[in-house]
Structures are given as C-alpha cells and as structure tokens.
Amino acid sequence: MIGGRNDIREVAAIAEGSGRTGLAVQAVIERETFRLDVAFTVTPGEILGVLGPNGAGKTTLLRALAGLTALSGGDISLDGHVLDDAATGQFVPAEQRPVGLVFQNYRLFPHLSVRENVAFAPRSHGTDRRSARIVADEWLNRLGIADLAKRKPAQLSGGQSQRVALARALAAEPGLLLLDEPLAALDASTKLAVRAELRRHLAAFDGPTLLVTHDPLEAMVMTDRLLVLEDGRIVQHGTPAEVARRPATQYVARLVGLNLYPGTRMGSGQVALDDGGTLTAAGLAETGEQPHPPDPAGRVLVAIPPTAIALHTSPPTHTSPRNIWPGTVAGLELLTDRVRVQVAGTPPALVDITPAAVADLDLAEGTPIWLTAKATEVDIYPDPN
Amino acid sequence: MTAPRPGGSRPRRPRASQRAGRTRNRGPLLILVPAGIGVAFLLVPLIALLVRAPWHGMGRLLSEAQVLTALRLSLECATAATIGSLALGVPLAWVLARSSFPGLGLLRALVTLPLILPPVVGGLALLLAFGRNGLLGRYLDHWFGLTLPFTTPGVIVAETFVAMPFLIVTVEGALRSADRDFEEAAATLGASRLTVFRRITLPMIGPSLVAGSVLCWARALGEFGATITFAGNYPGTTQTMPLAVYNALETDPQAAIALSLVLLLVAVIVLVGLRDRWLRAGSAP
C-alpha cells in the first residue's frame, strides 16, 4: 500500500511548521463502471508526474483537484485548507479554489485576445481592467510571448497556445498547478523545444505541481516523482529513475522498453514465472533492499532489457549465461538503429539486435531460435502490488 | 469522375456523362412539376404586390401623418418587445438548456406554445390574464392603476408574448451546443457563474443571440392577431403597420399596397442580413 492515510497526516504535520504544507490527497471517486481510489502528497515546489494509460483516471483526478468533480469519499487539502471532504460535505467550488489547470487542448477563450485571456483570472478576482492588463503583460513577458498579446487564439501555433494557457493559469496565482497532458497536442518537432521550456517555467513555480501524461519521456524528464495510475489505483510510486529501472506493471514495462515477468521466488536465485518458465538472477541474494534470507515464497518481478538477451540459431553449448530457452521468431520491427525481435517462447521476450545480426542469423517469422540471458543482466525485485 | 471503361467512342463519353449529370440534378417530373407550382404559389403574390404598387404616388402615400405614426409605433413596439424578450427570454433559455428538474420537458413545450398558437387565441388569453378584470390585470389596476389592454404598452406585451419563443428557441439551441469546456476553464480561473455567463457564454452564443433577436423583432413587427385582440386598433396608440394595412384596405387600397411594400422591404432586409451573416455563423458549432 502506498501513501496510506497515516503517512499523509505525518507529512502534513511535519510540513505544518513552514506554513505551506503542499497538497494532501486521499480521494475516492465512484462512477457506474469505474472507481478511482488514490492517496498521495505533493510538497511545495515538487512536480509529481501522474503516468497511466487512457482511462486510468488521470483526468478524473485532475478534475477532482480543480473542483470540477466532487469526491465520493476521502478528502483533499492544500496548505492545510480543506478543498473537499466527502465525510463533512465540505466542498470548495472550482472558482474559489486556488488551483490552476492547464487543459490538454488549452481551452483558450476564442473570442478574447491573448492578453485578455491571461487577464481573465485577475479580472475575475476583482482587479480593475487596467491593473489586470498590467498583470497579464507581466506574465506574457515572463513567458516570452509579449509579442502575441493582441492575437486571437486561432492565430497561434500549438506551442504558442501552450504557453498562453500556462500564462493564463499562472496569472491566477494558484497555490496548486495542474497540467493535463501539456504537450500531447503538439507535433513532435515543437514538443522538444516546448518541453525544455515548460520544465524551466515549472521550476519557477513554488507550489505543488501535478503533471498528467501518458508519454514516458515527458514523465521521465519533467517530473521529480512519479505515480503510475492504472484502473483507478496507484500501481507504482517512485522517482522516474526507479520506475524506469524497475517497472511494477506490464504497462510501465512496455513504456520503458523492458521485458517484465511476474513470478515466485524459489531460492538459489531461481524464479518460477507465472506464465511458465524459470529465470535465474545472479544478484538475487545481494540486492540490498531485500531481507536475508530471502522469503522463499515471495512474489517478485523479473526485468530484462531487450538488449541483454542474445539470440542463437542452434542450442548454445559452451556459453556462460545461466538462462537458456528455446523460442520462435513471432515478428520483426525496425527501430531507428536496431531491430526489435518478438520471440514466442516460455517466457516470450522482446530482443533488440542489430540489422546485421538479423541478416547473419537469417531471421524470419517462424524461425526457431535459442535465447540466452546472463544472470547478471536479470533484475529481480519484490512485486509491490 | 469515373474511370474510363474500355469500348465506346472516346469523344462522346464526356457529353454523355454531362447529360447524365444534368438529368440527375433535375429529378423526375413528378417532383419537378409540384415544386415549380410551389415556387409560383409563393412568388406570384409578391410579384402582384410589386406590379400593382402605386409607384407614382408612393412618396405621397407613405408621407401621410397616419402612416408615419403607424410606422414609428411599429418600429418602437417591435424594438421594445425584442428588448423585453432578451431580458426574460435569455435567462429562460439558459434554464431550459442548462438545468434539469422534473417537468422541464413540459415547461419547454409550454414556453414555446405561442409559436404554434393562433395569435388571436394568444390575444384573448392575454386579455383574460392582463385585462381590467383579468387574473393579474385586476391587481395591476387596483394597486398600480396600470391598464394594459388598448394601450401602447399592451401592444408591446402582445408582441412579446408572440415573438419571445423565437428568441428562446434560437438561444436555447445555441446554449445547448455551446462548448461547456470554456465555461469550465473560466471557473478554474476564478470566474463566478455570473461572470462566466457574461464574459464567456454570451459572447460565444453571440451570433445565435443576434439571429434570435432579429427573428423575434421581425415577428413582433408583423404581429397582427394578438395585437388587435389585446390592444385594439387605435391610430396613434395601438395601430401598428399590419393593422394600418388592414384598415387601409377598406378605405384606401393603394395605401394598403404601399404599406405592405414597406413591410416586404423590411422582411427582405432581415432575410438577406440573416442569411449572409448570422444564420450560418449561428449554426456552426
């Protein structure tokens, strides 16, 4: 279980001294066919990434934080102020929450100029027209888009719209910033530039930030910490590096490009895989995080990078790898500089080799093949779920 | 174009396909003949109006004091009725489009009933409601000394009653199809519901609002049945253009034609204005 209720209270209590405690969430949202149940905290200045497939509940979570959806259970508090508490019925509506939300499609008001869009929040908070304009111009300057002030949203490129949307959200001076797939609407070439810039602007924001994405690269480079959300619950929680190295689910493993096998530890470094087959890991006993002696019936995950598996057309005899198993080529896919070979077997595997090796081995769909993986390349860790 | 098929002489093919295209566009006679009669049926009366118009005396006929009074009264009352419809109809359209409560469907049907109700019935109903002895009218009279029937405000009430549903229907449709996403975005930026309505919703349904207002105004301008029943036909206070046309038919048919031409001109201007700018813009999401 990640981030239980007691942990949240503890974190909140520790941070109380500084006055700004950040975001504490323990949220349950029930729909007819869907249930979101998550608990986590985000400290001021921290960027929490929420990574998950479509339909995992990412947007529902953002809507609950913004006040566009009410909780069915649990509570949300920001810097010690309750925003929503299902038990007491306390609910701060969206327009009264100090929460900025950058929507996936930006939702810039089409009938207002860029300046008027950014001035919208100050105006709504009662600032007079002139002062709101000054505030808007400050934000446009800060984001380097002062020259766009008079344009209408229809005259902006994707990257420009994204910056205007960010400026508009920040001009409300929110205590919590939410970004829903901020780069998803951009084409690949602008994405790169905008990503670096967004990262810089987010670093300047001193409140907690939540960044929702299904793009693994975005999640890795933009965030300080990651939550992986699947089917409405948190399946993994850690730094981007931890999540990338030791994915907890097939979804994350596919995103970060690892072969992942759930199984049961049997002792002597061997793991019986759930879907058949056995793998041996050298580091099993030495992994520092694990208790000694290892729990013999422990549920574990085994991860192998596709580059760590070798392919042979005949059974390798004089090789050192401890993992040898047969399979058949099920598919070939050209990545930029490598070929990804899908191998059916027990267990199945994705294997990356060079195009030259494909030619040497004369691989085609249906070719019988032998797979080898060194025990040192096989990572094994407890299954958090 | 279809791919060329083998066989057949080349030069004839394009002509054949052109002919086929023209025939297809024209459709069968069984449809074309009644359609043609329909067009004639709608246009011939208008042509008759133009042909029989007293073009030479037009200036004299239209500058008569009584005509000018009726014209001014018509324009003023139709404009006032439109303003009244906007003030009451837009909030009502918002309720119909955005809220949900039991009986909403029934309410929507009742509110738009004047669209199909014979205006004379509407006028009679108004008389029973706001007349001197009417349901509400007796209190208006007792408490405020206010009498609506057979007064200029009565004309405005009758026209509003008949024309407001046009505005409601148009605006409700626009509110329904308007993108709620922008309203949500405005809420996250701290805008109260009233601010959202004023600064986001209204501007975004602007084209439909204009179209609805123009339709409403045109309907009010042409209103006859409810007006004559509820407000009567007194030159200077309740005699609007359509009533003046009706009157003139008995005494001076030439003047009736001249007045009708003015109303026709207004209708054409409204139609052209709506087609070119607002109807299409309003129907786009």
Give the burial class of B19: count Cβ atoms within 10 A of its Cβ; 0-12 exposed, 13-18 middle, 19 or more buried: exposed
Residue A100, pLDDT score: 93
Does A300 map to a domain? yes
Q: Examine the domain organization and report whether A237 and A279 are in the same domain.
A: no
Is the model's pLDDT at B4 over the cut of 70?
Answer: no
pLDDT band at A277, cuts 50/70/90? confident
Residues A312, A238, single domain; the answer is: no
Residue found by looking up tokens 């229907």 in the block:
B169
- Tell whether A63 and A110 lie within a shared domain: yes
pLDDT-wise least confident of A8-22, A94-108, B136-150, B162-176? A8-22
Per-residue pLDDT at B225:
92
Q: Which residue of B lies nearest to A66 if distances are taken between CA atoms? A: B188
Helix axes B152-177, B119-130, angle to 10 degrees: 110
Report, as an integer, the average pLDDT of B47-61.
85
pLDDT tens-digit map of A162-196: 899 999 999 999 999 999 998 888 888 788 888 88
Question: What residues form DSSP beta bridges with A85?
Answer: A75, A90
CB-based burial label for B103 (10 Å; 0-12, 13-18, 19+) = exposed
Band (B1; pLDDT cuts 50, 70, 90): very low
**Closest-CA residue to A235 (of A294, A154, A301):** A301
Are residues A239 and A263 both part of a single domain?
A: no
**pLDDT value at A286 more than 50:** no
**pLDDT value for A342:** 92
Q: How many CB atoms lie within 10 A of CB A265?
A: 22
Question: What is the distance between the alpha carbons of residues B62 and B68, in angstroms, rounded to a whole number?
Answer: 7
Give chain B's mean pLDDT. Answer: 84
Nearest residue of B to residue A65 by CA position? B188
Q: Which of A301, A302, A305, A303 is nearest to A384 (CA)?
A: A301
pLDDT tens digits, A337-385: 889 999 998 899 999 999 888 888 888 888 899 999 888 888 888 887 7
Residue B198 touches chain A, beta carbons under 8 Å: no
Q: Are the CB atoms for B135 and B128 separated by under 8 Å? A: yes
Q: Which of A178, A210, A245 is the last residue of a domain?
A: A245
Q: How confident is the model at residue B63 (pLDDT cuts 50, 70, 90)?
A: confident
Show the tokens assigned to B255. Answer: 């003047």
Instruction: Say yes or no to pLDDT of A312 above 60.
Output: yes
Confidence of residue A31 (pLDDT cuts 50, 70, 90): confident
Domain match, A332 and A198 both: no
- Partner-chain contact B189 A67, CB within 8 Å: no
Residue B141 main-chain phi, psi, to 5 deg: -70, -50
pLDDT of residue A283: 59
Residue A250 lies in a domain: no
Say what the pLDDT of residue B269 is: 86
Q: Do A95 and B204 count as a contact with CB atoms less than 8 A apart?
A: no
Say whether residue B185 is in contact with chain A using an 8 A CB cutoff.
yes
One domain, residues A345 and A380: yes
User: Quick check: is A254 in a domain?
Assistant: no
pLDDT in the model for residue A297: 59
Nearest neighbour of A124 by CB, restricted to B182, B191, B206: B191
**pLDDT score recorded for residue A147:** 93
Nearest CA in chain A to B185: A107
Task: Judge if A189 and A50 occupy the same domain.
Answer: yes
Do the chains contact at B188 and A96, CB–CB below 8 Å?
A: no
CATH architecture of B58-283: Orthogonal Bundle (1.10)
The Cα-based distances of B279 to A204, B87, B203 in angstroms read: 47, 22, 16
Q: Which tokens go with A101?
A: 């939300």
**Partner-chain contact A120 B184, CB within 8 Å:** no
Contact B190 A121 (CB under 8 A): yes
The larger pLDDT score, comparing residue A228 to residue A10, is at A228
The length of chain A, given as a count of residues: 385
Range of the domain at A324: 259-385
B43–A contact, CB cutoff 8 A: no
Q: B203 at the A interface (CB within 8 A)?
A: yes
B9–chain A Cβ distance below 8 A for any pair: no
Task: Report the alpha-carbon distance of residue B141 to residue A13 in Å, rounded.
Answer: 69
B180 touches chain A (CB under 8 A): no
Q: Does residue A122 share a domain with residue A44?
A: yes
* Alpha-carbon dihedral sign for residues B9, B11, B12, B18: positive
**Nearest-CA distance A260 → chain B (Å):** 40
Residue A251 lies in a domain: no
Token code pair at residue A382:
């407890």
Q: Is the pLDDT of residue A129 over 50?
A: yes
Domain boundary among A245, A273, A302: A245
Spatial strand order in the sheet of A339-345: A309-312, A368-373, A323-334, A339-345, A349-353
B14 lies within 8 A of chain A by CB: no
Contacts of A180 in chain B (CB under 8 A): none
Task: Give residue-wise pLDDT tens across range B241-283.
Answer: 999 999 888 888 888 888 898 888 888 888 887 776 555 544 4
Residue with token string 């100050």:
A122
Residue B92, pLDDT score:
94
CA–CA distance, A80 with A60 (Å, rounded to integer): 23
List of chain A residues whose C-beta atoms are within 8 Å of the C-beta of residue B205: none
**Residue of chain A whose Cα is closest to the Cα of B205:** A111
Give B-chain residues touching A125 at CB under 8 angstroms: 190
Determine the pLDDT at residue B65. Answer: 81
Residue in this structure with the two tokens 């990078």, named with its chain if needed: A305
pLDDT at B185 over 90: yes
Chain B residue with CA closest to A166: the answer is B189
Distance from CA of A132 to the nearest CA of B (A): 13
* Three-class DSSP category at A37: strand
- pLDDT band of A14, cuts 50, 70, 90: very low
Pick from A372, A282, A377, A378: which is nearest to A318 by CA?
A: A372
Q: What is the CATH number of the domain that holds A276?
A: 2.40.50.100
Give residue-wise pLDDT tens across range A319-331: 667 788 999 999 8
pLDDT computed for residue B86 by the predictor? 95
What mean pLDDT do residues B184-200 have? 92
| Residue ranges covered by each domain of chain B | 58-283
Torsion of CA A15, A1, A227, A283, to 10 degrees: 110
Task: Show residues of chain A in contact with B190, CB under 8 Å.
Answer: 95-96, 121, 124-125, 172
pLDDT reported for residue A316? 80
Please tell me which residue of chain B has the smallest CA distance to A169: B189
Give the nearest partner residue to B181 out of A95, A107, A111, using CB atoms: A107
In chain B, the N- to C-terminal Cα span, in Å, equals 32
pLDDT tens digits for range A75-108: 999 998 999 998 898 999 999 999 999 998 899 9
Range A210-224 average pLDDT: 89
Q: Which residue of A has its CA nearest to B203?
A: A111
Are the beta carbons of A105 and B185 separated by less than 8 Å?
Answer: no
- Give CA A44 to chain center in angstroms: 19
CB contact under 8 A, A96 and B190: yes
Residue B247 CA to residue A256 CA, distance in Å, equals 85
A265 and A195 both lie in a single domain:
no
* Cβ pair A105:B181 closer than 8 A: yes
Percent of chain A at pLDDT > 90 equals 49
Residues from chain A that touch B189, judged by Cβ atoms under 8 A, are 95, 100, 120-121, 124, 168-169, 172
In a domain, A252, yes or no: no
Over residues B98-130, the pLDDT tens digits come to: 888 999 999 999 998 998 999 999 999 999 999
Chain B CB contacts of A121 below 8 Å: 189-190
The answer to whether ipTM exceeds 0.85 is no
Task: Name which residue leads in pLDDT, B12 or B257.
Answer: B257
**Number of structural domains chain A divides into:** 2
| For testing contact with chain A, the best of B189, B192, B197, B205 (most A CBs within 10 A) | B189
Which pLDDT belongs to residue B22? Answer: 52
Please give, rounded to a whole number of angstroms, the shortest distance from the CA of B183 to a CA of chain A: 9
Q: Would the CB atoms of A95 and B192 count as touching at under 8 Å?
A: yes
DSSP state, residue A337? S
Question: Burial code of A318-355, b = ≥16 C-beta within 10 A, e = fewer?
Answer: eeebbbebebebeebeeeeebbebbbebebbbbbbbee
In the predicted structure, residue B285 carries a pLDDT above the cut 80: no
CATH number for the domain harbouring residue A35? 3.40.50.300
The distance between the two most distant Cα atoms of chain B, rounded to a whole number of Å, is 92
User: How many angstroms away from the CA of B196 is the closest CA of chain A?
Assistant: 9
Contacts of residue A69 in chain B, CB cutoff 8 Å? none
DSSP state of B231: T
Average pLDDT over residues B217-239: 91
Q: How confident is the model at residue B187 (pLDDT cuts 50, 70, 90)?
A: very high
Task: Give the residue carrying structure tokens 């990356």.
Answer: A352
| Chain A residue nearest residue B192, CA to CA | A95
What pLDDT, on a 0 to 100 scale, did the predictor assign at position B155? 94
pLDDT of res. A319: 67
pTM of the model: 0.75
Cα–Cα distance measured from residue A7 to residue A17, given in angstroms and rounded to the nearest whole number: 17
Q: What single string gives the DSSP state of each residue in A139-187?
A: HHHHTT-GGGTT--GGG--HHHHHHHHHHHHHTT--SEEEEESTTTTS-
Contact criterion met (CB below 8 Å) for A228 and A236 = yes
What counts of helices (H) and strands (E) characterise chain B? 16, 0
pLDDT of res. A275: 86
Distance from CA of B203 to the nearest CA of A (A): 7
- CA torsion through residues A301, A306, A312, A318, sign: negative
Q: Are B198 and B155 in contact (CB under 8 A)?
A: no
Cα-Cα end-to-end distance for chain A? 8
**A269, A282 contact by CB (below 8 A):** yes
Q: pLDDT above 70 covers what percent of chain B?
A: 87
State which residue of chain B sits closest to A94, comparing Cα positions.
Answer: B188
**pLDDT recorded at residue B276:** 62
The yes-or-no verdict on residue B13 having pLDDT over 70 is no
Judge whether A299 and A382 are in contact, CB under 8 Å. yes
Contact between chains at A94 and B184 (C-beta distance less than 8 A)? yes
Nearest CB partner across the interface for B185, out of A97, A107, A123: A107
Which pLDDT score, from 0 to 100, does residue B43 have?
A: 93
- Kind of pairing between the strands at A339-345 and A323-334: antiparallel
Closest CA of chain B from A108, distance in Å: 7
CA atoms in the 13 A half-sphere facing the CB of B85: 35
